[in-house]
Amino acid sequence: MAAFVFNIAKGRAAHYASLPAASDGLVAVLLSTAQADATLRDHDTLAAVLAAANTEATFAGYSRKALTGVTVTVDDTGESVSVDCDDPSWSPTAAQALVRILFCYDPATGSGTDAEIVPLVADDFALTTPTSGTVTYTVNAAGFYGAT
């Protein structure tokens, strides 16, 4: 599971993951520098995250990834909900240190702005990346988000 849920998304991540709009979706954003959790979690948009002391990893081979295989599982017996997805991966051509991965809701993929993107959860992704090959973030077996 994620290291933390952004304050703006508490209780809403499963809702965002299950929305059926044709142009919305979840995206993964990599950070090469990040604020402390207590500060980072207070930002309400991706624009606010990036305007603060956080740097998006944008070196060659890194870009935002649309998450695929997104599933929302409601467990009535266990009184919980979880959100899972396929493991996102990148093929870097230049080395860049990574510190965090953000899972965000984009209400207008391809045409929106960072001010519209809602950060949902963040997780540690401490890695000094290779200059070739594939870098994969392995999503926890229980999913990247859970609520009880």
Helix (H, G, I), strand (E, B) or coil at 99: strand
Q: Letter for the amino acid at 34? A: A
Strand partners for 106: 25
Percentage of residues in the chain with pLDDT exceeding 90? 53
pLDDT average, residue stretch 18-46 = 91
Per-residue confidence (pLDDT) for residue 51, from 0 to 100: 97
Least confident of 9-18, 35-44, 55-64: 9-18
Which range of residues forms the domain containing residue 35?
4-147
Split into its structural domains, the chain has a count of 1
Phi, psi for residue 40 in degrees, rounded to 5: -60, -40
Residue whose structure tokens are 């992704």: 125
Taking only the tens place, the pLDDT of each residue in 96-130 is: 889 999 999 999 988 889 999 999 999 999 887 66
Per-residue confidence (pLDDT) for residue 99, from 0 to 100: 94
